[in-house]
Amino acid sequence: MNQKIRIGIVGYGNLGKGAELAVGKNHDMELVAVFSRRSLSGTLSGVPAVPISQVGKYRDKIDVMLLCGGSATDLAEQGPQISALFHTVDSFDTHAKIPEYFAAMDKSAKAAGKAAAISVGWDPGLFSLNRLLAGAVMPQGTDYTFWGKGVSQGHSDAIRRIAGVKNAKQYTIPKQEAVEAVRLGKNPAINSNEVHIRDCYVVAESGADLAAIETAIKTMPHYFVGYETHVTFVSEEEFKAKHSGIPHGGFVFRAGQTSPGVNHIFEFGLKLDSNPEFTASVLAAYARATFRLAKHGFTGACTVFDIPFAWLSPKSADELRRELL
Amino acid sequence: MNQKIRIGIVGYGNLGKGAELAVGKNHDMELVAVFSRRSLSGTLSGVPAVPISQVGKYRDKIDVMLLCGGSATDLAEQGPQISALFHTVDSFDTHAKIPEYFAAMDKSAKAAGKAAAISVGWDPGLFSLNRLLAGAVMPQGTDYTFWGKGVSQGHSDAIRRIAGVKNAKQYTIPKQEAVEAVRLGKNPAINSNEVHIRDCYVVAESGADLAAIETAIKTMPHYFVGYETHVTFVSEEEFKAKHSGIPHGGFVFRAGQTSPGVNHIFEFGLKLDSNPEFTASVLAAYARATFRLAKHGFTGACTVFDIPFAWLSPKSADELRRELL
């Protein structure tokens, strides 16, 4: 076997822990260390937990760094710093800022002779790939994206900020009849907020005004106004038992036409028990591809659009053609 | 706008006619001519129909040739000849012979400085891409492929060879309960022949022994034995009205696990009114990519695994990141 790809992880929240699991499932990879701004007592796999300030000492010990911080603050700052030292893969998902982030990563990685794969995950990521593929194959058609059933961290946080709320989780759920209408080729005209339900589970402080909380949720602009919103109050025990997971998923469709009356439905779907574990698994596969891309001389930033699928797999080109084509 | 990609089509059956439609939907492409061994009276789009013997005269007039003959006989012979003259894209789908065909195409294309994308379509093709992607992202998991509802040409032909049969069409249909079991993450152990129904529509000669035909179908080794097979006799009029299309499609699933009890379902599905029109649309998108691949210096044979999605789209890298990522 060739030498293993040496992986590091920056950030040790849910995504970082998922990355630790994912690297362990890829036998051509070796996890070297986990880096964090926090002082960690250790890691699940036993690899060293290292303060981020010492990351520079690992320049010759790590090939690809998986950036597992959040887009909003961590990545915008850490990304360009780390990509000046290592090849990187991240799941930057603040859509409006992707061009700006791409430019920053491209500059830092290129100057250092490194490769930086940005916005890798499932959306952006696998969903984006399918949108591109479906549109290229069927130039005439309509795209649909549905998200869920899945936890929206932003909406859950927004509910938790309401007075009297102790804990909360918001699931985004696509309306089944809308998904089915698309799947059956009915080409419905739909708005995203009309085809998703916002389902909220709330633990209230004792003595809180439940009706006021429910009203505060349903009338919250940007987050809930315009959506079919359900609010269910649950006990702390029930919340822990039934709402501690982080599921997600969704569907990308394209309904296309190749000649009058000749219609085709292209569908891609994910149903994920754990959003961070799956996202981290995508990062791991793209770490392999990014390492190979770099070995072939690529420097700068790239996205899932730029990477041939062959490089995602540990199998040889011959094996892929024989077994998977 | 840049100069258009100049396309030729070899073979003018259902797939070739689909390719003619597909090229017409891609505004950065221009169809130059259709080549056939048969003497054609003309083409639907009005481009010249040219005897295949004169294909050499088009060396400087066509960039990419879409090979639209059948795998069984045409492509094995035509592929290496044409790829010595033009960049090519084909939908070679005789799975067991792919390594041999790849080697032949690689040799002829490389010697001529051309690029040849083989086995492009939906299976092999888009289904293969999804099998690779799902397996790379989730190394631990189980793959499932379902085909249909769709016409199997081979099975329809086999029925037509039975004495007393005037015309016949066989649809392969996945059993809905098996698809649902996979979709719900039940991880069923399944054999392909147990989860597909073979649904046959037969026009019998007048006075034919219908019971004998039905028995001949259901007991036909390799084709029908071991399958749930339905036989329905229809009139010639009903056959023409209801069974003249060539629909197809299917699903690729991977049920994966990232840690104990944490499961994910990856699903890709197509529902196609016309198998040849959709397949031809895939060929057209890959013609664009193959042309770009060649412009970047690639020569020899390649498959969908080797081509970054960015090259499938007429949009620029900036546009793709902004609009689709």
Please name the residue that has the structure tokens 């059933």.
A149
**pLDDT, position A180:** 94
The pLDDT of residue A61 is: 98
* Position A151 confidence tier, pLDDT thresholds 50, 70, 90: very high
Whether the per-residue pLDDT at B1 is higher than 60: the answer is no
Please report which confidence band the pLDDT of residue A157 belongs to, taking 50, 70 and 90 as the band edges: very high
Which chain A residues contact residue B313 at CB under 8 A? 132, 135-136
Q: What average pLDDT is seen over chain A?
A: 96
Nearest to B321 among A102, A185, A269 (CB): A102
Residue of chain A with shortest Cα separation from B269:
A267
pLDDT of the residue at A246: 96
Measured over the CA atoms of residue B209, residue B214, residue B217 and residue B218, the dihedral's sign is: negative
Rounded mean pLDDT, A257-273: 97
Average pLDDT over residues A17-27: 98
- Least Cα separation, residue A78 to chain B (angstroms): 21
Residue of B nearest to A269 (CA): B267
Smallest Cβ–Cβ distance between B308 and the set A131, A185, A306 belongs to A306
Chain B residues with beta carbon closer than 8 angstroms to that of A139: 25-26
Task: Please provide the average confidence, as pLDDT, over all residues in chain B.
Answer: 96
- What pLDDT does B192 receive? 79
Strand partners, B7: B31, B64
Phi, psi of A83 (to 5 degrees): -75, -5
CA distances from B300 to A114, A311, B229 (A): 29, 18, 44
Identify whether A247 is preceded by a cis peptide bond (ω within 30 of 0).
no
Q: How far apart are CA B206 and CA B203, in angstroms?
A: 9
Q: What separation in angstroms does the CA of B154 have from each of A244, B205, B224, B248?
A: 51, 21, 12, 14
Which of the four pLDDT bands, split at 50, 70 and 90, describes residue B73?
confident
Residue B263 backbone phi and psi in degrees, to 5: -115, 155
What's the complex ipTM?
Answer: 0.96
Inter-chain residue contact B310 with A132, CB threshold 8 Å: yes
- Residue A7 bridge partners (DSSP): A31, A64
pLDDT digits (tens, 9 = 90+) for B94-143: 888 999 999 999 999 999 999 999 999 999 999 999 999 999 999 999 99
- A1, pLDDT greater than 70: no
pLDDT of res. A220: 95
pLDDT at B106: 98
**Is pLDDT above 80 for A71?**
no
What distance in Å separates the CA atoms of residue B213 and residue B201, rounded to the nearest whole number? 12
Is A1:A29 a contact under the CB 8 Å cutoff? no
The reported pLDDT for the residue numbered A192 is 79
- Give CA separation, A198 vs A158, A169, A174, A221, B138, in Å: 13, 10, 9, 13, 29
Chain B residues with beta carbon closer than 8 angstroms to that of A17: none
CB A132 within 8 A of CB B139: no
Determine the pLDDT at residue B295. 96
Nearest Cα neighbor of B69 from B279, B212, B235 is: B279
Q: What is the mean pLDDT of residues B62-90?
A: 93
- Which residues of A are less than 8 Å from B132 in CB distance? 309-310, 312-313, 320, 324
